[in-house]
Each structure stands twice: as structure tokens, then as C-alpha cells.
Amino acid sequence: MRKRLILVGVVVAAALALLTSQVRLPERRAVGPLGGAVLAALGPAQTLLARLGDSVARMWRLYTEIGQLRTENRRLREEVERLSEEVTRLREQAQATQRLERLLAFRRQLPGRAIGARIISRELSQWFSVVVIDRGARDGVSRNAPVVAADGLVGRVIAVTPTTAQVMLITDARSAVGVVLQQSREAGVVDGAGERLLRLKYVSRAREIALGELAISSGLGGVFPRGLPVGVVTSVVREQGAVYQEARVRPAVDLDHLEEVLVVIEARPDR
């Protein structure tokens, strides 16, 4: 036991001597041949292990980054969805504003008083072209009130409830509007044919109808105000021996995509 203690004491003394010899002068740190050999032997192992450690650390970082990226990706997707909805909403709002501005400008040109209405329902069968608007008797809407859009004539009211009204479009097979061709000044009647195009009838053969000519409401019949665009002539039919000539007219208003209209509640047909 004593021998062992002496041996330990010797090692302690050696370590102490080593420490005191080098501690104050780090620049004189000499590892000696044994230390150099040990360091040289450990170098490759340290390098290998450090590389291994770096790889593991990189993989771990990658793993944690993947988790973060997933979270980030989910958040960004939600953000994109939210912004897309926002963009759609704003675009919709902008279009609605544009439409309403045009409608407003058109209203100023209308004779009498007109109120804006939104289309809340449609019935577009083969024969009947009717839409329902969100204005009714409470708002002053009455039967036969003309309904217009920024581009021209839409139709007329055929039924009214206190809060809504049914509007028969000019394409409805039951519809007939007295018109005048803007250039030739020939009068006629535009009928609904139950399809997208209208039929212009009872036009005298005295003058030729030009393609692209605009048909405007004549104001005759007392329902529609005078001068509202009804449609544009797209084709003319002149049958041999017939008294009148006929034409196909494309409605001035895009009735398939109508959203807001104006109801003329105090019309003056003889403007």
C-alpha cells in the first residue's frame, strides 16, 4: 500500500512539475515526442469522427429544418389561400364598382327616375327568359316598368311582390319592343325568339337595313322610353315577294351575364 502511495505521489509530483513548467509560458508549450506521437495518431481519428459528427449534425439540422419548412409551407399556403380569396373578392368588388359606375352614368341619361336592382334569380328556359330582381312594390317598382342596363334595354317588369319583381327579358318569346333603326330610321318591332338573338320584324323594304345598324327603342307603345339601345343587326332576310324585310338582332346588353340593372320607375316615353 505504501509503495502504491509513493507511486501515486511521484505521478502527482510529475504532473505538478509539468504544470508549473508550462503554465506561465504557453508559447513554450512542448508536447514532447510522446505527446507528438499521440497527437499524430489521434489526428486521423479525430478528423474522421469530426466529419461523422458534422454529417450527423447536418442531417439533424436538415431534419429539423424539414419540420420548420413544413410548418412554414403550411403557413404560406394558408396565406396564399387567404390572399387569393382577398384578390378574388377585391377583383369582384372592382368589377362590381365598374359596372355600377357605368349604370350610374347611364341612369343620368335616363328619362325619369330609376333605381338600381340586383338580379337574384334567373329562369332561362327555351321559351321564357325571366329574371328576378331584389326590388319590389315597396321600392316603387310596378308592372311594365322598363328595366335597363348600362348597354341598353333589358326588359320589363311582369310581376311585382313587395320586395322583388320578375323581369321579362327582351329575348323572351312573349316580348315585343317597338324600335327604330338608328341610321335608316326605319321602324319595326323586335320580338324575342326564345334564343339569344332577337327578331326584327315589320321593317319596310323601302330602305336596306345595314349590318351592324343599331336598333333603339322607339317609345311607341308607352312601355319603354325612347332612344334606349336594343340591339345590333347581325343578318338581314329579304324574302322575294314579302312586304316587309326581317333581320336578326343581337341584344345590346349581354343578358347572360347580367348582375345589376336599373328599373325605371317614373318613365317618360316621349323624351
Residue 21 makes contact with other proteins by CB under 8 A = yes
* Dist CA 264 CA 217 (whole Å): 14
Nearer to other proteins, 21 or 84 (CB): 21
Which of 132, 176, 178 has the alpha carbon at shortest distance from 157? 132
Q: Which of 2, 4, 108, 185 binds other proteins (CB under 8 A)?
A: 4
The span of 31-39, 179-187, 235-243, 260-268 binding other proteins (CB under 8 A) equals 31-39
Residue 59 makes contact with other proteins by CB under 8 A = no
Q: Which of 42, 59, 69, 96 binds other proteins (CB under 8 A)?
A: 42
Q: Which of 2, 20, 126, 185 binds other proteins (CB under 8 A)?
A: 20
* Dist CA 269 CA 108 (whole Å): 15
Closest approach, Cβ 89 to other proteins, in A, equals 46
The span of 49-57, 103-111, 135-143, 163-171 binding other proteins (CB under 8 A) equals 49-57
Other C-beta atoms closer than 10 Å to the C-beta of 51 total 10
Residue 24 makes contact with other proteins by CB under 8 A = yes
CA 52, 54, 55, 56 torsion-angle sign: positive
* Dist CA 153 CA 75 (whole Å): 49
Q: Number of residues interacting with other proteins: please give it, by CB under 8 A.
A: 32
Looking at residue 197, its amino acid is: L
CB neighbour list of residue 201: distance below 8 Å, 6 or more residues apart = 188, 189, 190, 191, 244, 246
Residues that bind other proteins (CB under 8 A): 4-5, 7-8, 11-12, 15-24, 26, 29, 31, 35, 38-39, 42, 45-47, 49-50, 52-54, 57
